[in-house]
Amino acid sequence: MSNTRTRALVAGARHGIVRSASKISKKTWYWLTAMLSPVAIVLIWELITRVGLVRSILLPSPGEIAQSLWNVILNGYAGTSIAIHIAASLYRLLLAYALAVFFGVVFGLLRGGYRLVDAAMLVPAEVVRPVPPLAFIPLFILWFGIGEVSKILIIFYYVMLVIMLNTQAGVKSCPVDKTRAAQSLGASSRQIFLYIILPAALPQIMTGLRVGMAAALSILVASELLGGDRGLGFVIMDASTFFRTKEVFVGIILIGFLGFMSDLGLRYLSSKFVHWEGKK
């Protein structure tokens, strides 16, 4: 009996080691692929530009862009430090995003939880939501001028709609059986919201926050067309006006870097607050 038990323990240990090694191998391959894929893209890009398949004014080589990036970091752009351009964009982006998160989550929870609120907001929200933000730029200029308010509001309104829609969908995804079971056990409306509806909606809310951040970054460039001489959007548009393609790529890279870092941060928050997602 003891021998059989010992063999079972040894077999179980071996199975655990093999399974663990398999997981490590998959994780290693994942990160290797994640790191090598951009390297491969850059090498192919460099090859295309070196053999002259594309003119440099249309597509500079990665080396030229890197040199231009370093020059912008050292000397700034248009007489202004690149840190100031980044700070100006971050101020507009983060303020608009914070407002959009607050109002988007609140309105999404209300629309998902109360049918009358959903009915009241349905037509206005669904009529405005498909309209591209760029279509509202002339109106925002007329209403608020070309200062910071217009830039922030043009980002806010669209991102808020994205987050609201995802939050509402998250509330709707909560199983009715769970809420009914909680009610039958005497749970209050507050307890049902905090311990059943909100946890069920959180994965969709976090997805909405990530999609909303990507939308905010894409609209940032358009919003910075509303006048001014600060911001990464200004760098991109000013450089394109004078056919300074390398500086255009510098602005794109910096915005992409901000987007990448913000998404990493949101993914980290998601792993902390929605750690059960995808687990059985």
Question: Is 278 within the bounds of a domain?
Answer: no
Question: Is 182 within the bounds of a domain?
Answer: yes
Q: Let me know whether 162 and 265 are in one domain.
A: yes
Separation CA 66–CA 49 (nearest Å)? 14
Question: Is 214 within the bounds of a domain?
Answer: yes
Question: Is 77 within the bounds of a domain?
Answer: yes
Question: Is 279 within the bounds of a domain?
Answer: no
Q: Let me know whether 123 and 215 are in one domain.
A: yes
Q: Residue 17's pLDDT is what?
A: 47
Question: Is 280 within the bounds of a domain?
Answer: no
**How does residue 62 score in pLDDT terms, banded at 50, 70 and 90?**
confident
Q: Let me know whether 212 and 87 are in one domain.
A: yes
Residues in contact with 49: Cβ distance below 8 Å, sequence separation at least 6, in sequence order: 56, 59, 60, 61, 62
Task: Tell me the whole-structure pTM to 2 decimals.
Answer: 0.79
Return the ∠ at Cα 156 (arms to 261 and 94), rounded to 5°: 35
Token code pair at residue 118: 């959903």
Q: Let me know whether 29 and 66 are in one domain.
A: no
Helices (H), 76-197: 82-113, 115-128, 137-144, 148-172, 176-184, 189-192
Q: Let me know whether 98 and 218 are in one domain.
A: yes
Question: Is 8 within the bounds of a domain?
Answer: yes
Q: pLDDT tens digits for 165-217?
A: 999 988 888 878 888 787 787 777 788 788 888 888 888 898 899 999 988 98
Q: Let me know whether 149 and 173 are in one domain.
A: yes
Alpha carbon of 269 to those of 90, 103, 265: distances in Å?
20, 19, 6
Q: Let me know whether 109 and 245 are in one domain.
A: yes
Q: pLDDT tens digits for 104-136?
A: 999 999 988 888 888 888 888 888 888 888 888
pLDDT at 275 over 70: no
pLDDT at 92 over 70: yes
The total number of structural domains that make up the chain = 2
Q: Let me know whether 229 and 187 are in one domain.
A: yes
Question: Is 148 within the bounds of a domain?
Answer: yes
Taking residues 237-257, what's their average pLDDT? Answer: 88
Domain holding 237: CATH number? 1.10.3720.10
Separation CA 256–CA 274 (nearest Å)? 26
Q: Let me know whether 35 and 123 are in one domain.
A: no
Q: Let me know whether 133 and 259 are in one domain.
A: yes
Burial of 51 (0-12, 13-18, 19+ CB in 10 A): exposed
Domain that holds residue 119: 62-273
Taking residues 63-74, what's their average pLDDT? Answer: 89
Q: Let me know whether 171 and 212 are in one domain.
A: yes
Q: Let me know whether 199 and 249 are in one domain.
A: yes
Indicate the SS3 state at residue 89: helix
